[in-house]
Structure 1
Amino acid sequence: MKKKTTLNDIAKTLKLTKVSISKALRDHPDISEQTRIKVKQLAQEMGYRPNLIARSLTSSKSKTIGVVVPKIAHNFFAHVVGGIQKIADKYDYEILLTVSDENEELEKQHIESLVAMQVDGLLVSVSMETKNTEIYQWIREMQIPLVFFDRYIPDLGFNSVIINDKEAARNGVEEMIMRGSKKIAHLAGYEHISIGKERRLGYKDALEKQGIEYDPSLVVEGGFGENSGYHGFKELASRGVEFDSIFAVTFPVGLGSYIAMREVDANMIDNIAMLAFGDSGVRGILPYPRYYVDQPGMDIGKKATELLLKEINGVVEPENKLVYMDTQFVETGKNFPVSEKNLLMT
């Protein structure tokens, strides 16, 4: 049997992206008339039938949801996926899970592949590299339901399920100040990503509210993983600035800085308090970081999936709405032992 021609086959032949091919076939004004003619001629010659996407836009549903996460090894995203799976199971949906590994191009490829697989909708947490929004504008134009979770891109018209990162960071840093911290360093995330920007703003607000001057030499910007935390702490230590506490943008960043701290001066572990967003999953056992902003990963996954299914079924519209989930300030050793509520199988 002859293999069916796909958008990817046409894209490879003409050395264009699948998004450009799709736009050309739909006479999108972004594509020149010359290119549109060329694409359509080749599509006809190769026997291409645009049925995959077309079928996904009709009333017939595949009963599948595409999911894109930046990482899967991290405890937070494992909990989110657990929540997604619970709601998907409840409504007889299957999930197709992909991992961008914090890579913008891989994220784009996954989304294109999931659409070609005729998923009914998408749940996406953007990578730390993502700056180009073309793929999301295409999704919007194709009217494919999509809900962002945790990390989102504002003003694209999609609904998002998140925490109030700015408020949670402000409250957490204020709590540290009230417990005695005076010089709090911040291992920050990239500002073009929502969580990096909002958590840094919360950090600044807390300092201002407590009458502490913001010191840019105490802020090191990087990614959201262990490697960023490790090198971020080494950079902080090399500056020769004094600090008594650290606010890590994510738990993996906090973990990376902890490893670096042991190499620089193990005594710091007893003297440097740390606040991190998220946790390892064994926070009732490990004594460090001392403080956490507890993110309800399971509930975020459930809420995002419920919202997406409502969009798929036409109950709600994508309208740039932000749905906030509650957080909790946690001190290791005082808010535990670990209860069943904290476990992944919840």
Structure 2
Amino acid sequence: MTGPAAPNAARAAAEQELPVVVVARESVAEDVVALTLRRPDGADLPAWTPGAHVDLVLDEHLERQYSLCGDPEQRDTWRVAVLREPDGRGGSARVHDGLAVGDTLVVRGPRNHFGLGPAPRYVFVAGGIGITPILPMIAAAQALGAEWTLLYGGRRSASMAFREQLAEHGDRVRLWPQDSLGLLPLDDVLGTPQDGTLIYCCGPEPLLRAVEERCAGWPHGALHVERFAPKEVGEPVRAAGFRVVCSRAGIEVVVPPERSILEVLEDAGAPVPSSCREGTCGTCEADVLAGRPDHRDSLLTDDEQDSGEIMLICVSRSLDDELVLDI
């Protein structure tokens, strides 16, 4: 297996850090705030496509990923929406309580592992704040003249962001507050497999698992999901440690069972960007030049994992004695 001599342009762009200013702040639902970000000089921000997310560097030790939910054609601003999570790790509290209009912060990205593929028909399923990457997908499907429907659930109506905007689409959208209507009627929209249809789902893990179960009989590649938290993956296939060779940095290390590739390479001084450290954001993605990864991430598709050409080094390990990475 061979790879490029340097990171591709998209990955290099995703690692670039940019200062941005908060130019607008709006409450879009109960405990959900939307931020509009602009470069201090007003210049265009990097281009993005529906499904992309960016890293907000909230302080030296606090980075979080948020989906872009604005208009990709509006190049001078980005928009993200953030749910306050009382039991979170501090990122949403920092956004809700510590970011005001006029504040400056650093962003990285965009990167997209949830891109919208071409299809004549789409089924979108969103739960809670999972509506954010779906919004620009709906706009893109509409612009292409494709058929589409959205099933959007939340704890209650007041907690569902952008519901007034979505209601303008009429019966293409089904808003489903759980407190009055119960669980999402997934069988209604996913019970019968359909050729030529792509399904995009984002939301909490129980919803994703339920959608995956119902899509087991759909054509291969029909379902696309994005996770906010890591899924259960069990124990590593290989209990022993292994070697990792960084082809460009000229670094060789041994990764013991109790440490990640990322941690060991950081200690060795290898140039490895990272963010979530739980296999959900894609910041630490690396090209595999030799060896077979033991994929333990919650981001790459089955096809991407089966190819063995890329891996997320914050959580994934090796099936072989040695991995050679394009780092």
Q: Normalising by structure 2, report the TM-score.
A: 0.25
Which has the higher Rg, Structure 1 or Structure 2? 1
